[in-house]
Chain A
Amino acid sequence: MTWLRTLLLRLAGLFHKDRRDHDLAAEMDSHLQMHMEDNLSAGMSAEEARRHALIKLGGVEQIKEAHREQRGLPVLETLLQDVRYGARMLGKNPGFTCVAILTLALGIGASTSVFSLINAVLIRSLPYQQPERLVYVWSPNPRFQLPIEYLNPMNADFFDLQKQNRSFESLALFGVARFNLASEGRADALGGARVTGDFFLTMGIAPELGRPVDTSDDQPGQEQVAVISNRLWRTQFGAQPDILGKAVLLDARPYRIIGVMPAGFGFPHATDVMDAAKVTDIWIPWAMTAEQKNNRNEGAGNAIGRLRKGVSLKQAQAEMSTLMAKIDLLRPVKDQGFGALVIPFVASVTGAPRHALLLLMGAVTLLLLITCSNVASLAMARATGRIREMGVRAALGAGRPRLIRQLLTESLFLATGGGALGCWMALASIRLLMRVDPGTMPRLNETSLDSRVLFFALGVSVLTGLLFGLFPALSASRSDPSEILAHSGTRSVQGTRSRFRQGLIVTQVALTVVLLTGSGLLIRSLMRVQSVEKGFEPNSTVTMSLSLDQRYSQPERQIPFYHNLIDRLSALPAVQAAGAVTNLPLGHGETLSWLTVEGYPFDEKVFFQTRSVTPHYFAAIGIRLLEGRSFTDDDATGRPLVAIVNRTFAEKYFPSQNAFGKRFHFIDGNPKPAWWTIVGVVADVRHASLEEQPQLQAYLPFWQSSAPACSIVLRTSADPLSLASSVRKEMNTIDPALAVADIRTMGQLVSESTAIRRFQTFLLSVFAGAALLLSLVGLYALLAYSVRQRTAELGLRMALGAQRRDVMRLVISQGASLAFAGIALGLVSAWVLTRLLTSLLFEVKATDAMTFVSVAILFCMVRLAACYVPARRATRVDPTVALHYE
């Protein structure tokens, strides 16, 4: 530990220099006096005594120097000296310093904020114990081409897997649900989940209070218990510590609260599985009956498992496939074909945003490179101006390493300043990003500047400092003092240095063109998406969701309830039309059905999006009726079954004929299927996403096929929020135990559905804009500097009769050739690189000519602006002054 003590003391020795010097001087003095006294008493004369003492002591200055070196840290002191000197030099040149620091702050700030997003969404580990051991188990069937989230394992299959597997520590099912939580005369609709007993064990998370749902709870008769989220505990129950054991009414049934989860746990989220609420607040046991457990045709829940320690994904997959191959044989031959697919949990949480974020990181890296080359180019311009200084220092004995160190210290100094400002910018921009949070990127809201991000920022700062500092430092320190000092004035030397700078400018322009092209393509895609034919009219449409409880399990109870509700809502003064639908467009829920259309063979690869709607649904949401009639209240139970189909449906099955009167039936295992007769055709609706082509769609009358949960759609002229409170009042009058949730306008749903795209496009455009600004500054600085360097030459030209026009042309053409080279290089690189964007583009080709041409034109205009000012300045050169200058 001696070395540590010494280091600390020597660090301390860097301070209070005066006091320490004074102390040493006093000590020397007392030493001399004592020595002289001894000498005197030995019989020397005063003069001699003093001389001897001084000789014996040696050079006082050398002692002081040696003492100082021992006292502090010489290396650090030289560094501090460099920093002080650097700061002074930078302070003398505030223009350069400001531009350089701001440029660096922009680059470092942008990359730090993107990194902080990546850190929050991709790197920071999930709040579950060893999340890398968590996996989803899906059960795909090659017979159906369905997205993975539709592939829940069939109940009986799941329980067989649970019993037979050896790969999993535990395997659980969870199903998303909505609950009406009744308290004090009002009800709230909350996101919830039914979970089997192993769920919390599998997730690897324990409650903060009480106990989780466990295997003693998921038995019929034992299931009236609930675990609630920390959020719910705080908002609804005032964080009472004695909450455990309290009873709550969920969907009008009593449940006993047995546990409160820690803050931040809300799995499943809307981003995790289909149909889930934004966060889950209530977990209740899933007590399936024996009949449900043995059902091999229904997969009601998502399966999640925790791998045993040491079991790899591959091993688990192999075992699941083998087991499923046997289990599949337990069902009738015609239904067989189900397999097993094990997907890592972490990858499915971070999979979707990964592409988007890596794209942004790529863009921000380009921006950072532009930043570096820009500052390097500025620093080189400045270094050329400092050739004399370097020459003098070299002549006075500074070695090349010393000069390089000095210059690098300056760049690191700038980079640190830029980095600090950049962190501040990142902090500000993170706040801004939260506002444009698409809500569909998991954990984006947890973005913050933690130590990892700060470390990243530091690393980037140092790296940029070295990157932009090294070339100027190497080139400036190469100067030969005798040559430099021989020339007294500045000259226009078009040497390697300026060629290097020109190379930097060309690179900058090229990188900027790449970024501009990328963002141009995304902007065009966004415009295409936003102008796409949605099929409904989102303006002035308010929607909300509603979920009935088991008191309404029979259609005979549901239909009167809905009739009553819709009638009351239609009677509200602000409401022009009111309707109900089972799945809202863009509402992340979809019912896919198999249909057989009369006259066509059944095709199990074709699915139909089916919805039940009340008569005024089409009017409320603004779907145009193209042919036939809409539903009426007469299309009720006991009346002939009728249906309305969309244009795609009609055109596929009844081309050049009238769809009116044609029939189809559902494939639901019923040997004597019920035929539904088509009475109308409506416009195509983009139900799943604005970017997906309209599918085959069929609508059934709500009064003939009602459902325990639906969305209410109101066409209104009123403010959605004020309307919400009157809707709540109506609901409360009908049944105080029920609540509406998710009150949103259709406009909001549309906007949410394009949020990730807007988020990406917005960020990429901001980066491209910043790049444009930077390369503009870079080009401007180069030309302005070169005009200054060539003052003498320009003056001479003008003295010899060159016109202003000629001088202007000279300067502009210098800028133009660089810019053109950069644009050409950039367009070629963009041609190659934009292919990476293909999956993010919508109805725009990666090599869209329009975008490429606009970028080139935009850049040419900007370039002209950058060249104009220095060119104007060049024409103002006064020949006499210019020639005196030399």
Chain B
Amino acid sequence: MNWASWMLWGFVATLIMTTLEAGSQELGLTRVDFPYLIGTIFTPDRDRAKVYGFVAHVLNGWVISLIYVFVFEALRRANWWLGGLIGVVHALFVLMVVLWMMPGLHPRMASEHSGPSATRQLEPPGVFGLNYGVRTPVSVFVSHILFGIILGAFYHLKIRGGL
């Protein structure tokens, strides 16, 4: 595996994905806010949550990009469309598994079944994150596919016999 290439492009892809998601929020396309959702796991303080969440989200994206790289290495190919394809699977996983499980995992998230309580007040994402706006799935797909495309296009496979 080409560690240097992973570190560089994993980081770049994560930053671009995070920026794109923030841009979608600012443009009013979706209210899904991954740094905020992650940050509120650690603190109820809105401002601090965004900072903690941003750091956690970047680290998380960086680590997840390893999975992309493992697939590239396993298939002995890395290109933009393969990256994009993995991005589709990644987005589906986020929408169908991560967001679905979040009310059970997040200590401050309310549940549609039991409603908010003194400790759980954060709006849950709902099916496909639709509670955060009908364009949420589109935003998640676009940002994750772009994440995969960047990785696929720029990651350099380890040369056989090299480092």
Task: Tell me whether A and B are bound partners.
Answer: no
- Listed in ascending order, the chain A residues whose CB lies under 8 Å from chain B are none
- Listed in ascending order, the chain B residues whose CB lies under 8 Å from chain A are none
